[in-house]
Structure 1
Amino acid sequence: MDGYARQIPLIGEEGQEKLMKSRVLVVGAGGLGSVVITYLVSAGIGKIGIVDGDVVEEHNLQRQFIHAGNVGKNKALSAMEFVERLNPDVEVEAYPFNLNESNIAIAKHYDVVVACPDNFETRLILNDFCVRNDIPMVHGAIYGFEGEVTTVVGSPCYRCLYSSFPKQEERFTPVFGFTCGVAGSIQCAETIKVLLGMEVLRGKLLRFDLRSMEFFTIEYERNPNCLACKNRKEG
């Protein structure tokens, strides 16, 4: 427990033991995922799974710092190396592929899913599976100076929040590394609070703009026509 001496006064030894027995799946080891993985592993999460089918490119390193020195390597495998160096006590499993309907079942083995992908399709697949199987999901997204985070625990869900999704035409999302740092840190905080049974951003979307330094929360409710919520397991 010595490695967690600075956080144990906040959550107690019982809380730390809960974290050390917890399993978290991080989908996307890019800008958001790099931050989430770093702080979850530093906090002593028992097991972390990392899903990403992309390879590290030079332009990634501006914000994806966990991949330093690994240009050309699969991101999930690169992130696994980082975790093993940062905290050998954390069990890590790499899934070096892109998430889709045929492999989403891996999420059943985890207590919380942290959604850090770079596309709407993957977010929807994650949302629908997590809602259907009653797995909490912490969503994060960034663009430029702006970011957002919400936590889906049952209902309302990501589909309730967004009734339509724009077609993504940009190959690269313009962003500063520090925007990833803020959003990813909030995702990490939400994940740990879910695991410890604390109040989270359920039914609330936290948005921020680092250009103006504005942070605000938008409340959202269950959409009665949401197919994901209609198909969720109750209780």
Structure 2
Amino acid sequence: MTIGDPYSRDGAVRGRAVALPLLTQPVPFEAGDPALERYRRNWLVSGLGEAGQARLAAARVLVVGAGGLGSPVLLYLTAAGVGTIGICDSDVVEVSNLQRQLLHGEADVGVAKPDSAVRHLSALNSSVRFERFGHVTREWLEEHGREWDLIVECTDSFDAKYLVADYCAQSGVPLVWGTVVSMQLQVSVFWSHAPAPVPRLTLRSLHPVQPAPGTTPSSPEVGVLGPVVGQAGTAMATEAIKVLAGFGEPLIGRVLMVDAATQRADVLTFAPWE
């Protein structure tokens, strides 16, 4: 499959790049549009271009979790000019969050995270539209999940991660996923309804069984270093921008694994479990 019209609504593959289908038809920028200057360092990147920037402006991205991973994801997607960003989180900002959740400040303690996030993000880019939501359930996703071009999963619990990933596997909504504990992180991209030759994979292709409580280390027990969360979230934002704009080689069928203690990074391929 080739990409053809850069403003197509359909998913397409060009080389190793993947362009997700968008719910809203991108509109080409007109000459002299101030946005072209604002995002100049974006669209000058090889493969992105003005067409890719127009795709970002048309995109609708749901970010589940506005904490450690969600902070860099939300900041970079907002700065990049993603048109509409949904923010799901039922927590309020706590003092213990501030070590790694750089989207929030001391004045936000006690404030709902979506409200704190929107206040800061709107100051960064007033042209982005934000939608705020609370706790995400399977029922909520069944009703609203297909309203988004892409879901970015940024929670810190296995229950939430598998809930969102299983919904994306069933519905076909593409998913950018990441996890981090202590000094280790993993990032990947899943798209269960991807067009050939893109592999149709899900979180359960990589981690088939949700870990039972207490069987794996957790951040409340072993900690998590703030900058490592930033590494993971920044990588997730990069993957989201790549598949929305349709350039680069996304981590579909591959997982980025980093041990920040030694700064060793590996990208491993995986296939569905038999």
Distance (whole Å) between structure 2 residues aligned to residue 186 and residue 113 of structure 1? 15
Query: Which amino acid in 1 is paired with 2:41?
Result: R
| Structure 1 residue 223, shift from structure 2 partner | 2.5
Answer whether contact 1:114 1:138 (CA < 8 A) is retained: yes
Measured in 1, the distance between the counterparts of 2:219 and 2:41 equals 41
Q: Is the 8 A contact 2:162 2:210 kept in 1?
A: no
User: 2:206 pairs with 161, 166, 169, which one?
Assistant: 161
Summarize deviations over 1:189-214 as a string: whole Å, max 9, x none: 10011112232111111100111110
1:154-201 Cα shifts (integer Å, max 9, x gaps): 121101211222234457261111011110011001001111223211
TM-score by length of 2: 0.78
Q: In the alignment, is the contact (CA less than 8 A) between 1:156 and 1:223 conserved in 2?
A: no
* Structure 2 segments unaligned to the other structure (5+ residues): 1-34, 193-199
SS class of match (1:222): coil
* 3-state SS, counterpart of residue 66 of structure 1: coil
Name the count of aligned residue pairs: 223
For the pair 1:178 / 2:178, whether they are aligned, the reply is no
Contact 2:182 2:219 in 1 (8 A): no
2:120 is aligned, of 62, 66, 82, to 82
Q: For 1:54-203, list aligned pairs within 5 A.
A: 54-68=91-105, 69-95=107-133, 97-105=134-142, 106-154=144-192, 155-169=200-214, 172=220, 174-198=223-247, 199-203=249-253
Check conservation: 2:176, 2:190, Cα contact below 8 A: yes
Taking only the aligned residue pairs, the percentage that are identical comes to 35
Contiguous gaps of at least 5 residues in structure 1: 225-235
Cα distance between partner residues in 1 of 2:267 and 2:210 = 20
Distance 2:151 2:66 in 1: 13
2:93 touches 2:113 (CA, 8 Å); kept in 1? Answer: yes
Larger Rg: 2
**Is residue 41 of structure 1 aligned with residue 78 of structure 2?**
yes
Q: What SS does structure 2 have at the residue aligned with 1:183?
A: helix
Verify the 8 A CA contact 2:138 2:164 in the aligned structure 1: no
CA deviation vs aligned residue, 1:128-170 (integer Å, no higher than 9, x gap): 2112221110000001111010000112110121122223445
How far apart are the structure 2 equivalents of 1:5 and 1:197?
A: 17
Counterpart pick for 1:27 among 31, 46, 64:
64
Distance 2:245 2:169 in 1: 20
Mapped contact 2:61–2:152 kept (Cα < 8 A) = yes
